[in-house]
Structure 1
Amino acid sequence: MTKVKGRQHFFRDLLLTLAVTLAVMVLQWRQSPWLKRLEGIAYDLKLVHFTPPRPDSPANIQIVDIDEKSLHEIGRWPWPRKQLAALVERLTAYGAIVISFDMIFSEPQQNPVTLIRPYLAGDDQALQSRLDQIRPRVDDDSRFAARIAENDVVLACLFQHDKTLAQGQIIDPKVQQLPTAGQHELHHFSGFNASIAALNAVAQGQGFINAILDVDGIIRKAALLSEYRGKLYPSLALETFRVYSFADTIAPVWHREAGQLFLSGIQLGNDVLATDNRGQLLIPYKGPVKSYPYSSASDVIHQRIEDQRFDGAVVFVGTSSVGMADLRSTPVSLVYPGIEIHANVFDALTQPQHQVVQPHWWLGANMLQLLICAMLLTVLLLEIPPALMALSAGMIFILCALFNIGLWYHAGIHLPVVPVLLLVAALSLLAIAQGFYRENVQRRQVKAIFDQYVPPAHIDSLLEQSGSDAMAGERKELTVLFADIRDFTRLSENLSANELKKLLNAYLSPVTEQIFQHQGTIDKYVGDMVMAFWGAPLNDKHHGQHALDAAFAMLRVTETLSAEFAAKGWPKINIGIGINSGEMNVGDMGSSFRRAYTVLGDAVNLGSRLEGLTKYYGLNLLVSEFTRAAAPRYFYQIIDKVRVKGKEHAITIYRPFPPDSDPGTVNQLEAFNRVFSLYREQAFAQALTALDEIVRVYDDKILHDIYRQRLEHFLKHPPGENWDGAYTHTSK
């Protein structure tokens, strides 16, 4: 009987081991998203800690950065193209041999003559003729094109999946096209944004700048080729290398399996750079940010460069400015300028013999590793005591990791390591799995998710609901709040990274506390912006009232913080808040890679637009007519009737005042409400007189200039009978 039981345990353990092995192999075969995320972490560790030193690039790679300094000295983006023309002219004079722009000039720049001609007398033929003579000389696009023609310049394009997008011009690629119309695994696109034809006509090349994100949002690979409407197009880095190397065409290397084409590499002169089946290479990041020499664009334009850094250089022009949104997450830095990614890829193209590759046979090799490890661990699990089994499993775990690192470091071969390590860990820890853990997973998940969004006192109430009820999506009446620090980019320029972190923490903590104290739910932080909502996950029939209570508490806290910041030598802060109420979709949303408890819908977008409008009206708090209806206890001053960007129907927006406001404040807001009523009735002269009386009596000029300009305009140009009193905002 003992032998029978022993055999039963043997076969049970063997089957369980085989089942776990098969499960890991299936995960490897199907490329499970969470397995990819773990593999991404392992890859980042290998890249940062175990990559052998690369020799210096044979090319002189330089980066010209449109940084915060350049924006401060020359002006906000987009710059007049005469500045870009000057940039190209200076780089050419400094000796740059190839200039590559990581930006798109998809619309022509208006000629000043075109702008002023409508304001000049049409019958003055001499003046009109003179303007026609001046027009070519002040055409910045022509000036920019002329400078581009004087050097080898590569421009960028951005492919899209929307086939209706075709902005600018796509030029014919210098790539050997597919040998047949067979299927392949390259990225496919059906739309594009590119520079205007006048610039492309004189450029030496054009390359796409699409980023390839892994499931965790990290950029580890770069696509060198992509397909657009049946043709193959090069990336910006690859096209820059083609121009740099004087190659006439780019030659993909194909192989065919089971009637399907697979890309195995790209021939660069006498060398072949290996890629995966999708035409991607692993980006060999040279190091952290600024591993390549940076120069400020304003220093180049103003001729402050006194050395020979650009002599014979390949120059990539891009931006590291926070406001221009070209900062990416990479294995070496979570805030990495996109332009330096192109420089790294170009560097790899100049040294294909030093590139780490993932060979096309990687999947078979990994499956073989899994089988070997499974057989070895099966023997250990069945034949040796548990303590010795744990020691042996740990040794195998370390040996597998060292073998993988050795292939990476010495042979330049990247193989996924997580599936093998996962199998070793799973088989060695199988005996100590605990059933109670599975039973309590849902409760812990709900607590882990919601304790960062809602007040701690609400967690127990949420846990009393089933997990599915707490997380389920639904549509309900809610109130959403957006709050943003004014002129944050300017304020942050004078702070170090550590000071900026401390300032944000000092601001966000008490503001969040006020939201929690007034029963709000934190949706997210985006830099200095806070988004919160009321009415979910717990029902709140007074969600509008509580949102306004929180908003005024936030304003009071901000005023106190601003004084404290000034005492520390930090800049004073001021915030703008927009609030809207309405039907919204709320629930645990996202992808299988990343999820969040959040709200979506037009009502949410309107709340964001209102926050943006606080800058226009010079106010720190604006609410919609829907929030006014949801919070009737407050006093309200009518600010405007507007159509915001993306909305057809006009809404009335208000400035709220607390219920305990003094009589003078109430009289003041009622006086302006009367002005707005006259404005809506097209009694513009009376409205203007009443507006001036408000300023004379109450010394309130917040809206005086805006409405004086409108009223004086309508006195001269009446809007007509069908005017509904709404003002259309064309920006967010």
Structure 2
Amino acid sequence: MWFYRWRRMKKSTKKKLYNLITTSIVALLIIILQWLNPAWFDRVEGIAYDFKLVSFSDNYPVSPANIQIVDIDEQSLKTIGRWPWPRKYLAELIDQLTAQGAVVIAFDMLFSEAQQNPVSQVEQALLKQGIHLDLNKLKSQLDDDTIFAKSITNNDVILGTLFQQDKSLQQGYMLAPAIIQPQQPLPHLLNRYKGYNASIKKLNQAAQGQGFINAVIDVDGFIRRTALLSDYKNVLYPSLALETFRVYSFAEKIIPQWHHQENISLLSGIKIGKALIATDNKAQLLIPFRPTPRAFPYTSASDLINKKITDKRFDGAVVFIGSSTVGMADLRTTPVSLAYPGVEIHAAVFSALMQPNTQVTQPEWWLGANIILLVFLAIFFYFILRILSPLAMTLFALLSISVLWGINVSLWHYQHLHLPIIAILLLPFVLSAIAISKGFYSENRQRQQVKAIFDQYVPPAHIDQLLDDPNALNMEGERKVLTVLFADIRNFTNLSENLSANKLKTLLNNYFSPITEIIFNNQGTIDKYVGDMVMAFWGAPLPDENHAEHALNSAMQMLVETTKLSQQFQQQGLPNISIGIGLNTGEMNVGDMGSTFRRAYTVLGDSVNLASRLESLTKFYGVTILVSEYTKNQCSNYDFQFIDKVKVKGKQQAVTIYLPIDKHCDDKQKQVAKQFNEIFELYQQRQFINALHLLKSLQKQHGNNPLYQEYRRRLTFYITTPPDEKWDGAFIHQNK
């Protein structure tokens, strides 16, 4: 029943229904894509986020805290020694920072194993030899872990922890976190871990706090977010930056802000003292990367240990200690750099926690807002695109995408809101692409119907021009500089007399098909076929700056193709064929010429006639192709051999004609052309005896041909009967 109703439905109604269904399906698919957020889609969204971060995050307020980074860099490794260092150097590092006024020190590294005491090694060696000494006091004095722990107690130091998913890894000592834990733990979306690597008990108990240093890596391997809280055995632990902020703020506890939905707890933020830090449901926030690495002040660790820092840079400072060396494997892939020091990420997060109101956040309501916007855009585009032309659709789509992108960037830049944008841009792009494709498909189908009828008779480029601009049909035509070609099968009259009509048709069809293809492939226009003759021209109806060269390329390819065809014809029991080609370049009339009953797109004029005469002269000179000096002057990719300076019948102006030579031909052919060019120059200079001497040498080396015979006849005549003073070197042809 529905099929019967569809067939009887009006075409306009069908089109509206089709557009409605298409728009609805596309909108639904994109909404589902936004909801599911597959990995590949998240990658694309990440690229858009990176572009906004790099291009539109230029307003970085000065942090109220003095944030410094101490870098265990290549200089430090070269000065102190390779890592791991004896911990007395780290103790010295803390002591120097404490003396210079640092108020909080955070280590972006682990100390999960006790350092071996050199006194214990000596004691064990003595015991093996039966020597018992009391070295406990000395052992305590030279124990680097004890020295390091003592230095840690002299300042507010935060040590790092690395959570693991392997529950068998539980190395080091975990401090009780200063976080208000949920009274009745419910399922949540925070990262959960089963194991850990922490610093040893002696060091952790001396520290003021402990924070995890795990990175949140997106599906494309980039770090764009950081987790402030993570779950280990149903206990929440802070990140290194968050714990550093708590200690710096003199806050006793970190208070997660929860709201509950059915059987799940969702995090909306974290409260520390009076500061409320907005996060997503996974306790994550977007990292406010600076445009380039090393945006915070860096100091080499070796300079501190060797007491080379004498300024006040660390007065009241929060110091993050880490490494930017490749060997210590803490360089991260981020939107702003593929080798971003991990320690600087912690510094950037701490800076954001100090100024939560300037932090770019992704609000909880973003998904609902995007879905509502997608529905609105689908309805809007359904009504707009149906009334626009393909070109207007393209412009409108570009304008819409630009406006949507501009609004999204404005929300980022001025309101500090990050809203995923790819789905919003994808909807107008896909809907416009479908509408544009449908419009072009309908138009192209009509064009193909016309072309299918007339392609065999009218040049395809001319059909396209008429379809694009019907006003291009001009009976008066126009004068243009073009190149025209005539090609004729030699001795066709004798050849046709020996073939049946069917075989003759087969031969001509098999000849004209590849010849026509060569002309079309070189941007030529077939003018007409007259028996065995084909006429073509270049430079119209579509402009072609290289029309002469394209015409000559066609001619040379036609000669090669004719040789191949002759071999095929011989195998089929058909006669061999050869052709002569004439080309000329000049001003001629071109256009749609004829009557209201029949018309042809053709060229007329003296320049056309000259090309026809040149084709006829190929038989006289015994060559396959002749071009005029006007064509030769526009074909720099070819070499040429002089043939003659002639006046054709009906014309008083002399024209020099040439035999084109492919630059890639063998050296023998080039040498022959060079020698004959010398003969022709001598001939034009009336040095007939010298020219004849060179000609005889050339004939002796390369045999005789009609061209050599003709010049030997002329030279012999002019030696005995020199021409008068008015002779200009031109030969007058009396036959067409």
1:432 positional shift: 5.9
Q: Is the 8 A contact 2:20 2:382 kept in 1?
A: yes
What residue identity is the alignment partner of 1:110?
Answer: Q
Aligned to 1:109: 115
Q: Given the alignment of the two structures, is residue 59 of structure 1 paired with residue 65 of structure 2, yes or no?
A: yes
Aligned to 2:352: 348
Aligned AA (2:403): L
Tell me, what secondary structure is at the counterpart of 2:216? coil
**C-alpha deviations, 1:532-591, integer Å up to 9, x for none?**
xxxxxxxxxxxxxxxxxxxxxxxxxxxxxxxxxxxxxxxxxxxxxxxxxxxxxxxxxxxx
Deviation at 1:431, TM superposition (A): 4.5
1:263 aligned onto 2:267: yes
Contact 2:245–2:350 (8 Å) recurs in 1: yes
CA deviation map 1:507-537 (0-9, x unaligned): xxxxxxxxxxxxxxxxxxxxxxxxxxxxxxx
Q: What aligned pairs does 1:32-71 form with structure 2 within 5 A after superposition?
A: 32-71=38-77
Quote the offset at 1:379 in angstroms.
1.2
How far apart, in 2, do the equivalents of 1:397 and 1:378 lie?
Answer: 16
Q: TM-score, normalised by structure 2?
A: 0.57
> 1:384-412 CA distances to partner (integer Å, 9 max, x unpaired)?
22221221111111111011111111111
Q: Which residue of 2 aligns with 1:463?
A: none
Q: Deviations over 1:645-703 (max 9, x none)?
A: xxxxxxxxxxxxxxxxxxxxxxxxxxxxxxxxxxxxxxxxxxxxxxxxxxxxxxxxxxx
Match of 2:336 among 332, 338, 342: 332
Partner residue in 2 for 1:245: 249
* Cα drift, residue 200 of structure 1: 0.4
SS of 1:28 mapped into structure 2: helix
Deviation at 1:121, TM superposition (A): 5.2
Indicate if the aligned counterparts of 2:253 and 2:272 stay in contact, CA closer than 8 A. no
Among 420, 423, 430, the residue aligned to 2:427: 423
Instruction: Identify the match of residue 79 of structure 1 among 85, 103, 107.
Output: 85
Shift of 1:42: 0.7
- The equivalent of 2:698 in structure 1 is none
Compared CA separation, residues 121 and 186, structure 1 to 2 (3 A): closer
Matched, 1:385 2:403: no
* Shift in Å, 1:272: 1.1
The secondary structure found in structure 2 opposite 1:133 is: helix
Residues 1:320 and 2:309 aligned together: no
Deviations 1:405-464 (A, max 9, x none): 111111111100111101111111124669xxxxxxxxxxxxxxxxxxxxxxxxxxxxxx
Structure 1 unmatched ranges of 5 or more:
435-732
Change (3 A) 1:64 1:366: same
> Contact 2:385–2:435 (CA<8 Å) still a contact in 1?
no
What one-letter code is carried by the residue in structure 2 that aligns with 1:388?
A: A
Letter in 1 for 2:79: E
- For residues 3 and 379 of structure 1, the distance between their equivalents in structure 2, rounded to whole angstroms, comes to 20
Deviation at 1:348, TM superposition (A): 0.4
For 1:244-264, what per-residue CA distance to the aligned partner results, in whole angstroms no more than 9, with x for missing partners?
Answer: 010000011111223321100
Residue 289, structure 1, aligned to residue 293, structure 2? yes
Write the mapping of 1:101-140 to structure 2, written as runs, cut at 5 A.
Answer: 101-120=107-126, 128-129=133-134, 131-140=135-144
Work out the CA distance in 2 between the residues paired with 1:402 and 1:244: 39
The aligned counterpart of 1:229 is: 233
Task: Report deviation, 1:375.
Answer: 1.1
Change (3 A) 1:160 1:121: closer
Indicate how the Cα distance of structure 1 residues 64 and 200 shifts in structure 2: closer, same or farther if over 3 A, else same: same
Percent identity reads: 52
Task: Name the structure 1 match of 2:687.
Answer: none
Q: Paired residue for 2:20?
A: 14
Match of 1:460 in 2: none
Match of 1:89 among 73, 87, 95: 95
Deviation at 1:5? 2.5
RMSD: 1.6
Residue deviations 1:207-248, cap 9 Å, x none? 000000111111110100011001100000000000101000
Structure index of larger Rg: 2
Q: Would you identify which runs of 4 or more consecutive aligned residues in structure 1 move more than 6 Å?
A: none
Tell me, what secondary structure is at the counterpart of 1:240? helix
Q: Output one character per residue of 1:319-355: Cα deviation in whole Å (capped at 9) or x when no partner.
A: 0000110000111111100000000000000001111
Q: Which amino acid in structure 1 is aligned with residue 142 of structure 2?
A: V
- 3-state SS, counterpart of residue 206 of structure 2: coil
1:27 aligns with 2:33: yes
Shift of 1:286: 2.7
Does residue 277 of structure 1 match 2:275?
no
Aligned with 1:154 (options 152, 158, 161):
158
Count of residues in correspondence between the two structures: 432
- Give TM-score, length-normalised by structure 1: 0.58
Hey, what's the Cα distance between the residues in 2 that align with 1:287 and 1:296? Answer: 22
- What does 1:475-486 align with in structure 2 at a 5 Å threshold? none
Q: Aligned with 1:314: secondary structure?
A: strand
Deviation at 1:56, TM superposition (A): 0.5
Partner of 2:672: none
Q: Does 1:400 align with 2:412?
A: no
Q: Is 1:122–1:128's contact at 8 Å kept on the other side of the alignment?
A: no
**C-alpha distance in 2, partners of 1:180/1:18?**
45
Q: CA deviation at 1:117?
A: 2.3
For 1:54 and 1:365, the matched residues in 2 are separated by 28
Q: Which residue of 2 aligns with 1:310?
A: 314
Q: Which amino acid counterpart does residue 224 of structure 1 have in structure 2?
A: L
What secondary structure sits across from 1:156 in the alignment? strand
Q: What SS does the corresponding residue of 2:157 show, helix, strand or coil?
A: strand
Match for 1:165: what amino acid? L
Supply the distance in 2 between the matched residues of 1:269 and 1:381 (Cα, whole angstroms): 54
Q: CA deviation at 1:268?
A: 2.6
Contact conserved, 1:265 with 1:274, CA < 8 A, in 2?
yes
> Which residue of 200, 205, 225 maps to 1:196?
200
Residue 73 of structure 1 aligns to a residue in which SS? helix
Q: State the distance in 1 between where 2:33 and 2:128 align.
A: 74
CA–CA distance in 2 between the matches of 1:119 and 1:183? 55
**One-letter amino acid of the structure 2 residue matched with residue 265 of structure 1:** G
Determine the C-alpha separation between the residues in 2 that align with 1:271 and 1:181: 24
Whole-Å separation in 2 of the counterparts to 1:121 and 1:97: 45
**Using the alignment, how far apart are the partners of 2:127 and 2:58 within structure 1?**
71
Structure 2 counterpart of 1:128, one-letter code: L
How far apart in 2 are the matches of 1:323 and 1:15? 58
Q: Partner of 1:178: helix, strand, or coil?
A: coil
Mapped contact 1:377–1:393 kept (Cα < 8 A): no
Instruction: Letter of the 1:16 partner, please give it.
Output: T
Is the alpha carbon distance of 1:367 and 1:16 closer, same or farther for their aligned partners in structure 2, counting shifts above 3 Å? same
Partners of 2:262 and 2:426 in 1: CA distance: 32
- Equivalent-residue separation in structure 2 for 1:144 and 1:21 (angstroms): 62
Residue 413 of structure 1 corresponds to 417
What letter is aligned with 2:93? L
Give 3-state SS (helix, strand or coil) of 1:262's partner.
Answer: strand
Q: Quickly say closer, same or farther: Cα 1:162–1:334, change in 2 above 3 A.
A: same
Return the match for 1:5 from 6, 11, 14: 11
Shift, 1:269, TM fit: 2.3
* 2:72–2:323 contact (8 Å) kept in structure 1: yes
Between 322-331 and 369-378, the greater mean CA deviation after superposition: 369-378
1: distance between equivalents of 2:8 and 2:314?
82
- Match of 2:431, SS? helix
Counterpart of 1:298?
302
Q: What is the CA deviation profile of residues 37-75 of structure 1, one whole-angstrom value per residue up to 9, with x for unaligned ones?
A: 111111111111112512110000000000011011111
2:420 partner SS: coil
One-letter code aligned to 1:78: P
Deviations 1:482-501 (CA, angstroms, capped at 9, x unpaired): xxxxxxxxxxxxxxxxxxxx
Asked if the contact 1:185/1:278 (under 8 Å) is kept, the reply is yes
